[in-house]
């Protein structure tokens, strides 16, 4: 993994405009009834990407996973169930690219108490829906179920995984990853792995 | 233990003397015995002062919020006239909670079971189908059970179920100046502060583990090694938790009445510079500099980041400075919830508040979980190994010093001095006979 923070990680893209855009994205996903869904071949490409992303996280291949992130990547797990806001609320997690790289350095140190032993995870994505967003982007929502084991009992993290993907070559990059946990506003247990 | 002082008198002797020994040993049953936990819920979380909430959580008339006093579901409401009232969330009729929403705004509470209606100060306003109760029914005897004592200190609201509990200011004692320091640092002005909805965590361990951990400066280089390494690798030297050892000028203090302080201010140069960069650091700080100029912006940015104190106000409030506070909620002898709040300054530039939101997320996800992990492991070993009965909290006994005027005991930040004091107070409360009651 890269170590020192690079100048390019000075994440100037985080600010009021990003917050408004992410909040609007989440609101759209939550009420996506009128969306123009992707044709089956396009949807299959999106699903293949989601499976790759899920596998890299389950296998903790963070170095490869980071290659899927856009330069202006943002990761958000709201702590509220409705009308979630980045400019008024503290999140369960909100990471820009720099903080996510901090998180990976922290976890990959091998001495993080809450990840010793590391969480074993297997995540299932289902009910995948995707539609075209602005400027060639694709908006995706899917049901997410993560089974997680470190020591008994096994835990379940359930929710909705929403992504804004931007096209890149033959594939995609993740611009936003927003996870709505069913129990986001209830006391969280050991959630110290990347969802 | 040289904690005896006019302000910290030797606890009244009683049955708990055999579980907290003067040479710095604490018995494992304090963390594992459900009966001791039940007694704590009466004598500590009820018989003494307990933090309820910050007034900023119920800013408007008729706002209410549910909290717990020990485990008792409790409604704290601001009445139309602005008075803050705390009442147990239990219908005086057949025991149903009268409020199910976690918070809201209401002049009255209607019990969902049989429709009894209470004003938001707890008085029974009406019963449904009243003819069935006859003419002698005494409505005043059926109000919600209210906490006999509720007092606010500069926005921090405390309550007690003990009508004879000592005056709040007397009880705050030496902790008050540090709470004042933290409040004054915000320079909130007439606009005051608003409290952000909590992020909540849970761990399978006794509430006292986290209470102790907050002024335990000994564990940071070891338990938080991952945070430590990440800081050095990614952000270089000079961030909080990058280097901690026992040569530190930082201290821990036992303040009396159970209150404890980890004082980092001797090494606080700049809260802003010593904190890890948060998302939006450059955007918001540069906008602030453009708006108010470099000098003023630098001053205001000090309102973001680790501010230099870990103040535990016994038993359940933890103040970290720069508007962040946490509340411990005991659930069972081996289960504790914590709610973490940021506060925003209404009159401050928006950039400061935006950065405060992002800073609040920092240690939650890049540190705190390591504390709860170890607390869960400790809880387990204490529970299942009966042959080893004692925990050692003697560190610093050889080098602590007592201020004769205030009774405050000070030692190196890595010492157990504050923790030991907390157990002296625990024993004081647990050995004392106390009457807890509600007023209707």
**What ipTM was predicted for this assembly?**
0.95
Please write the tens of the pLDDT for every residue from B191-248. 899 999 999 999 999 999 999 999 999 999 999 999 999 999 999 888 876 667 788 8
Q: How far is CA A176 from the centre of its chain?
A: 7
* A6 contact partners, CB below 8 Å, separation of at least 6: none
What domains lie within chain B, and their CATH numbers?
15-48+174-431 (3.90.380.10), 50-153 (2.102.10.10)
Name which of B230, B282, B326 to mutate to probe chain A: the one with the most chain A Cβ atoms within 10 A of its Cβ: B230
Torsion sign across C-alpha atoms B93, B94, B96, B97: positive
**What mean pLDDT do residues A34-60 have?**
93
pTM given for the model: 0.95
β-pairing, B63-69 vs B409-412, is unpaired
Q: A12-181: which CATH architecture? A: Roll (3.10)
**Mean pLDDT score, B6-32:** 84
Residue percentage of chain B with pLDDT more than 70: 97
User: What residue segments make up the domains of chain A, in order of their start?
Assistant: 12-181
Using the predicted structure, report yes or no on whether residue B6 has a pLDDT greater than 60: no
Q: What phi, psi does A37 have (nearest 5°)?
A: -75, 155
Asked if residue B336 lies in contact with residue B206, where contact means CB atoms within 8 angstroms, the answer is yes
How sure is the predictor about A41, in pLDDT bands with cuts at 50, 70 and 90?
A: very high
Residue B194 is encoded by which pair of tokens? 């608003």
B391 or A33: which leads in pLDDT? B391
CB B328 within 8 A of CB B336: yes
> Is pLDDT at B186 greater than 90 in this prediction?
yes
| Alpha carbon distance B170, B13 (integer Å) | 22
d(CA B62, CA B104): 8
Q: What is the mean pLDDT of residues B348-360?
A: 97
Q: Which residue has the higher pLDDT, A164 or B22?
A: A164
**pLDDT value, residue A1:** 47
Average pLDDT (A92-110) is 96
Q: Using a pLDDT cut of 90, give the percent of chain A over it.
A: 87
Confidence band of A22 (pLDDT split at 50, 70, 90): very high
Taking CB atoms and an 8 Å limit, are B369 and A14 in contact across chains? no
Task: Report CA torsion sign: B177, B178, B183, B185.
Answer: positive
Interface test with B, best of A90, A152, A192 (most B CBs within 10 A): A90
Say whether pLDDT at B112 is over 50: yes
Output the pLDDT for position A92: 97
Per-residue pLDDT at B318 exceeds 90: yes
pLDDT of residue B152 exceeding 80, the answer is yes
Identify all chain B residues contacting A12, using CB atoms and an 8 Å cutoff. Answer: 282-283
**pLDDT band at residue B12 using 50, 70 and 90 as cut-offs:** low
Q: How many CB pairs below 8 Å do chains A and B form together?
A: 124
Residue ranges with strand state E in B274-431: 309-313, 317-321, 324-332, 335-341, 343-345, 390-392, 401-402, 409-412
Alpha helix locations (H) across chain A?
A: 16-30, 40-58, 62-66, 97-108
Q: Given B287, B366, B370, which is nearest A113 (Cβ)?
A: B370
The pLDDT of residue B9 is above 70: no
Nearest Cα to Cα of residue B26 among B315, B393, B428: B393
pLDDT at B248: 87
Q: How far apart are CA A71 and CA A73, in angstroms?
A: 6
Tell me what the mean pLDDT of segment B361-381 comes to: 96
The chain B residues in contact with chain A (CB within 8 A) are 196-203, 223, 225-227, 229-230, 233-236, 276-284, 287, 337-340, 342, 354, 357-358, 360-361, 365-366, 369-370, 372-374
Query: A96 touching B, CB under 8 A?
Result: yes
CA angle A83, A86, A88 (to 5 degrees): 80
Q: Taking residues A156-173, report their average pLDDT.
A: 96
């Amino acid at each position: 993994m890269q170590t020192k923070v690079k100048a390019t990680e000075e994440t100037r893209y985080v600010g009021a405009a990003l917050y408004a855009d992410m909040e609007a994205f989440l609101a759209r996903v939550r009420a996506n009834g009128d969306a123009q869904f992707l044709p089956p071949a396009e949807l299959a490409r999106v699903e293949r990407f989601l499976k790759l992303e899920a596998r890299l996280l389950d296998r903790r291949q963070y170095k490869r996973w980071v290659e899927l992130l856009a330069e202006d990547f943002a990761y958000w797990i709201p702590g509220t169930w409705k009308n979630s806001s980045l400019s008024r609320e503290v999140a369960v997690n909100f990471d820009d690219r720099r903080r996510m790289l901090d998180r990976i350095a922290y976890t990959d140190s091998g001495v993080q108490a809450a990840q010793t032993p590391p969480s074993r995870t297997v995540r299932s994505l289902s009910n995948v829906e995707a539609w075209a967003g602005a400027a060639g982007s694709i908006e995706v929502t899917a049901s997410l179920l993560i089974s997680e084991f470190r020591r008994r009992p096994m835990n379940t993290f359930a929710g909705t995984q929403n992504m804004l993907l931007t096209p890149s070559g033959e594939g995609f990059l993740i611009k936003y990853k927003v996870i709505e946990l069913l129990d986001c506003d209830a006391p969280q247990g050991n959630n110290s792995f990347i969802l | 233990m040289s904690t005896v002082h006019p302000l910290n008198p030797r606890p009244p002797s009683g049955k708990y003397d055999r579980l907290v020994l003067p040479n710095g040993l604490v018995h494992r049953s304090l963390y594992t015995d459900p009966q001791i936990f039940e007694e704590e819920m009466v004598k500590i979380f009820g018989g003494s002062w307990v933090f309820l909430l910050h007034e900023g959580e119920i800013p408007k008339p008729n706002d209410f919020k549910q909290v717990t006093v020990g485990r008792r579901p409790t409604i704290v409401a601001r009445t139309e006239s602005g008075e803050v009232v705390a009442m147990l969330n239990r219908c005086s009729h057949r025991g149903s909670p009268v409020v199910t929403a976690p918070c809201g705004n209401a002049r009255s509470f209607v019990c969902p079971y049989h429709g009894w209606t209470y004003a938001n100060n707890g008085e029974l306003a009406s019963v449904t189908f009243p003819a069935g109760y006859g003419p002698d029914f005494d409505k005043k005897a059926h109000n919600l059970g209210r906490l006999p004592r509720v007092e606010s200190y500069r926005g921090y609201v405390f309550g007690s179920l003990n009508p004879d509990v000592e005056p709040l200011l007397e009880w705050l004692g030496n902790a008050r100046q540090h709470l004042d320091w933290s409040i004054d640092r915000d320079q909130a002005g007439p606009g005051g502060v608003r409290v952000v909805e909590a992020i909540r965590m849970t761990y399978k361990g006794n509430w006292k583990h986290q209470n102790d951990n907050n002024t335990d400066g000994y564990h940071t280089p070891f338990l938080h090694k991952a945070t430590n390494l990440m800081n050095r690798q990614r952000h270089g030297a000079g961030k909080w938790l990058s280097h901690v050892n026992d040569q530190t000028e930082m201290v821990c203090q036992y303040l009396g009445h159970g209150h404890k302080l980890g004082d980092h201010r001797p090494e606080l140069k700049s809260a802003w510079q010593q904190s890890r960069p948060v998302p939006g650091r450059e955007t918001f700080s540069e906008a602030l500099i453009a708006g108010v100029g470099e000098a003023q912006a630098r001053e205001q940015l000090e309102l973001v980041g680790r501010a230099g104190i870990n103040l535990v106000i016994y038993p359940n409030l933890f103040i970290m400075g720069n508007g962040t506070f946490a509340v411990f909620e005991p659930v069972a002898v081996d289960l504790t919830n914590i709610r973490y709040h940021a506060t925003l300054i209404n009159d401050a530039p928006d950039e400061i508040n935006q950065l405060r939101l992002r800073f609040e997320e920092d240690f939650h996800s890049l540190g705190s979980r390591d504390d709860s992990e170890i607390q869960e492991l400790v809880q387990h070993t204490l529970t299942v190994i009966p042959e080893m009965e004692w925990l050692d909290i003697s560190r610093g006994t050889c080098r602590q010093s007592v201020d004769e005027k205030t009774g405050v005991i000070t030692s190196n930040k890595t010492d157990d001095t504050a923790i030991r004091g907390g157990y002296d107070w625990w024993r004081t409360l647990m050995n004392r006979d106390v009457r807890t009651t509600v007023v209707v």
